[in-house]
Amino acid sequence: MITVDGPAAAGKSTVARRLARRLGFRYLDTGAMYRAVTWKALECGADMDDPAALAGVAQSAHIELQPAEDGLRILCDGRDVTTEIRTAEVTENIYRLADEPAVRRVLIEHQRRFGRRYDLVAEGRDQGSEVFPRAEVKFYLDAALEERAARRLADLRSTGAAAPLEEVVRQVAERDARDRSRPVGALRKRDDMVFLDSTHMTVDEVVEAMVAEVARRRPAQGRD
Ligand code: C5P
């Protein structure tokens, strides 16, 4: 079990996916799970201010993460929502579910079940701190706010969307604040996490640094 935590747009998904492929592990994108239940809550018109309704949505959602050529295919109740869960509407509403302890309990149980079945690279905000505190290697991946906003903007442009850089900086900073101050499952760097600042690193460099760290701690897995 390997965990990768860190703030929005630090590059966690890209490096976690590549690290998993290198090690022959499964990749667990927990942000996609929070996105999928948020998508479902919006889709079924749930009362976004009612904790019991949101917990009900999480309990009834059947979320599947299927390995695909270019990452993961996300299914919610059998429907492919890989693209829909990345819309601004979903992103803006995630906190309503992610801040809800009853919703987190459901998704954490789902994540741990996954962890019992597979060797995982699990990526999110709380994976090394709350969900898998005894993981063998726990990474905390960060980058400067401006760099993370620039990466997010590049992602947006690649999908045909765009926004002024200052607006994206503001949005990323707002998500940081929410992720760090959430009453349960808050983003936190712990002393037992390996800290990587990717501000001036390429994806390859980050992945190589992670593989080297894993090799130091789990010699059998770190070899090519
Ligand atoms: O990683 P991604 O940006 O897709 O995550 C979407 C949102 O889901 C995050 O902003 C965070 O609020 C929430 N999240 C969470 N716990 C996790 C993963 C994501 O609360 N383990």
Continuous H helices in 51-144: 51-60, 88-98, 101-117
Flag whether pLDDT at 222 surpasses 60: no
Region 107-133: what's the mean pLDDT?
Answer: 97
Write down the pLDDT at residue 102.
Answer: 96
> Can you say whether the dihedral through the CA atoms of 143, 144, 149, 154 is positive or negative?
negative
Flag whether pLDDT at 125 surpasses 50: yes
Region 19-24: what's the mean pLDDT?
Answer: 96
For residue 174, the CA-to-ligand 1 centroid distance in Å is 13
Q: Which residues pair with 4 in a beta bridge?
A: 123, 139
Write down the pLDDT at residue 112.
Answer: 98
Write down the pLDDT at residue 220.
Answer: 66
Flag whether pLDDT at 224 surpasses 80: no
For residue 219, the CA-to-ligand 1 centroid distance in Å is 31
Ligand 1 binding pocket (C-beta < 6 A) is 8, 30-31, 34-35, 94-95, 98, 124-127, 175, 179, 185
Distance CA 85, CA 189 (A): 27
Nearest CA to ligand 1 atom 16: 125
CA distances from 64 to 21, 36, 185, 203 (A): 19, 10, 22, 27
pLDDT band, very low/low/confident/very high, at 160 (cuts 50, 70, 90): confident
Region 112-130: what's the mean pLDDT?
Answer: 97
Report the candidate in 75, 95, 77 with the shortest Cα–Cα distance to residue 85.
Answer: 75
Distance CA 149, CA 163 (A): 11
Q: What is the pLDDT of residues 51-102, one digit of tens each?
A: 999 999 999 999 999 998 878 999 999 999 999 999 989 999 999 999 999 9
Write down the pLDDT at residue 37.
Answer: 98
Q: What is the pLDDT of residues 178-204, one digit of tens each?
A: 999 999 999 999 999 999 999 999 999
Residues 6+ apart with CB under 8 A from 22: 207, 211, 224
Write down the pLDDT at residue 159.
Answer: 82
> Can you say whether the dihedral through the CA atoms of 133, 206, 203, 176 is positive or negative?
positive
Distance CA 26, CA 117 (A): 10
Domains of the chain: 2-219 (3.40.50.300)
**Which among 179, 184, 187 is the best mutation to test ligand 1's pocket, defined by most ligand atoms within 8 Å of the CB?**
179
**Which among 5, 12, 17, 30 is the best mutation to test ligand 1's pocket, defined by most ligand atoms within 8 Å of the CB?**
30
pLDDT band, very low/low/confident/very high, at 162 (cuts 50, 70, 90): confident
Write down the pLDDT at residue 105.
Answer: 97
Write down the pLDDT at residue 69.
Answer: 83
Distance CA 186, CA 125 (A): 7
Write down the pLDDT at residue 221.
Answer: 58
Distance CA 7, CA 132 (A): 18
pTM greater than 0.85 (yes/no):
yes
> What is residue 45's three-state secondary structure?
coil
pLDDT above 90 coverage of the chain, percent? 90
Higher pLDDT, residue 163 or 10: 10
